[in-house]
Amino acid sequence: QVQLQESGPRLVRPSETLSLICTVSGGDISSYYWSWIRQPPGKGLEWIGYMYFGGTTNYNPSLKSRVSITGDASKRQFSLSLTSVTAADTAVYYCARGHWLVYYFDSWGQGNLVTVSS
Amino acid sequence: ENVLTQSPGTLSLSPGESATLSCRASQRVTGNFLAWYQHRPGQAPKVLIYGAYRRAAGIPDRFSGSGSGTDFTLTISRLEPEDFAVYYCQQYGSSSFTFGQGTKLEIK
């Protein structure tokens, strides 16, 4: 049974970089893609991007200039970096596992609320 | 970007009734890569349906998905108290994912 857990700071200052880590326990990490998804307060879900441990990455076009997702297979972790944050980046950030060929997310972390404020 | 519009925004029903939630895409959803999620407050979203109509593991058959192209429906029969939550549709196409804005299913 796969489990995902987000970790990282809960408060980030405007213009700085938001960094989160997702640790994956259980399951195979090489046969899936690994995503970050966020939910601003009172709003819906927004896909940020995904990575595949074989090296492929893909990002939401609206965030592409500020986002990087990388992975460390030996630690069973993947990371999100979002630069130049503003209050609009305040959200609950989820990591999730996705299935190739059918393209849905079957396992999610519990979420990490990140607030951007000075 | 393939924009997903869900309706209604809020649906008020009683336990035991049936719910019909709609998801309309601005462009055809290729391969019918359309999924539905249930999201309860403070919890992670849970996939219910993928591939437009395939029920995810462990999901009761009260939940069913239908549709193709640009119009999709999630039907929940015999509503139980734990079904009252927010529901999102999600599509994949052109190497990108988008979600609908959600339908809140509340107890009448």
* Tens digit of each residue's pLDDT (9 = 90 or more) over A57-79: 999 999 999 999 999 999 999 99
What's the pLDDT band for A100 if we cut at 50, 70, 90? confident
What's the pLDDT band for B94 if we cut at 50, 70, 90? confident
* Tens digit of each residue's pLDDT (9 = 90 or more) over B42-73: 899 999 999 999 999 999 999 999 999 999 99
What integer best gives the mean pLDDT of chain A?
95
What integer best gives the mean pLDDT of chain B?
96
Cα–Cα–Cα angle for A73, A74, A80, nearest 5°? 45
- Number of Cβ pairs closer than 8 Å across A and B? 61
Q: What is the pLDDT of residue B6?
A: 97
Contact B101 A94 (CB under 8 A): no
- The closest alpha carbon to B36, from B71, B77, B73, belongs to B73
Q: What is the pLDDT of residue B50?
A: 96
How many CA atoms, within 13 angstroms, populate the side-chain half-sphere of residue A4? 28
Contact B56 A106 (CB under 8 A): yes
Q: What is the pLDDT of residue B81?
A: 95
Residue B93 C-alpha, separation from nearest chain A C-alpha, in angstroms: 9
Residue A111, chain B, CB below 8 Å: the answer is yes
Residue B56, chain A, CB below 8 Å: the answer is yes
Other beta carbons within 10 angstroms of residue A102's beta carbon come to: 15
Other beta carbons within 10 angstroms of residue A4's beta carbon come to: 21
Q: What is the pLDDT of residue A45?
A: 94
Check pLDDT > 90 for residue A99.
no
A21 vs A5: CA distance, rounded Å: 8
B108 vs B102: CA distance, rounded Å: 18
Contact B33 A104 (CB under 8 A): yes
Residue A103, chain B, CB below 8 Å: the answer is yes
Pairing of strands A105-108, A46-52: unpaired
Q: Which residue in the set B31, B96, B99 is minimally distant from A61, CB to CB? A: B96
What's the pLDDT band for A19 if we cut at 50, 70, 90? very high
Helices (H) and strands (E) in chain B, counts: 0, 11
Which residues of B fall within a CB distance of 8 Å from A69?
none
* Tens digit of each residue's pLDDT (9 = 90 or more) over A3-13: 999 999 999 99
Q: What is the pLDDT of residue A2?
A: 93
Residue A60 C-alpha, separation from nearest chain B C-alpha, in angstroms: 7
Contact A94 B1 (CB under 8 A): no
